[in-house]
Amino acid sequence: MIKAVIFDMDGLLINSEPFWQESEAKVFNSLGLDVNKKMFEQFMGKRIDEVVEGMYKMTPWNHVSKEKVAEDIVENVIRLVLEQGECLAGVTKTLKDLKKASFKIGLASSSRMKIISAVLDKLQLREYFEVIHSAEFEKYGKPHPQVFISTADMLGIHPSECVVFEDSLNGVISALAAGMKCIAVPEKNAFNRNKFIISNKVLDSLNDFEIVQFTNL
């Protein structure tokens, strides 16, 4: 029986993936690195420190620390969130329906907590979440399951009684590895969209979600 629902944030609650792509391209290009769409999708759902480390391993740079690179990207993302951030379709209705039905609701994001705070305040969604957790406080980020396991623990619910909403393949892998059900809401033109069949259900949008779907997971 499902008792708790855990949401990812980037690309699910807010269309922030373009903000990440723009910010990463800007900072990495300033270091003389070339970035492309396949790289963005490879790192989608991962923590920014892991993205920077991955880029550094592929194309090392000099004179600027990895920590400074990550911080520059984060600050640019926050600026774009505050300037342009909007809820994705179906988000508010889904959260209202789940809250009305007395499900416990958590947020488990790879983003740093200061980005999470900027998003929740910009979109006015903070009131819906009993637990807000960032993978920056875990030893490993997604696709490792710990961020979801910790969020379930903070909610006081066993992982087997949780369902996760995710838009990234790394996030889906993380949720399933945590022993949770997972509903995927991938980007419509994601190059790896066919791989989302590993999730328990795939939706085109949160507009397509109804609570009764939990009974068929």
DSSP label of 88: P
Domains defined for the chain, CATH in brackets? 4-15+86-216 (3.40.50.1000), 17-84 (1.10.150.240)
DSSP label of 144: S
Q: What is the pLDDT of residue 39?
A: 78
Mean of the per-residue pLDDT values of the chain: 94
- What residue ranges in the chain does DSSP mark as E strands? 4-7, 104-109, 131-134, 162-166, 181-184, 201-202
Which residues are catalytic, by number?
8, 10
Cα 173 to Cα 178: distance, rounded to the nearest angstrom: 9
Kindly state the percentage of the chain with pLDDT values over 90.
83
Cα 202 to Cα 199: distance, rounded to the nearest angstrom: 7
Report yes or no: 166 and 17 within 8 Å, Cβ to Cβ: no
- What residue ranges in 41-140 does DSSP mark as E strands? 104-109, 131-134
Output the pTM of the full model: 0.89
Reported as a single tens digit per residue, the pLDDT across 97-153 is 999 999 999 999 999 999 999 999 999 999 999 999 999 999 999 999 999 999 999
Phi first, then psi, for residue 84 (nearest 5°) are: -130, -5
Confidence of residue 191 (pLDDT cuts 50, 70, 90): low
Instruction: Report which residue type is found at 165.
Output: F
Reported as a single tens digit per residue, the pLDDT across 60-82 is 999 899 999 999 999 999 999 99
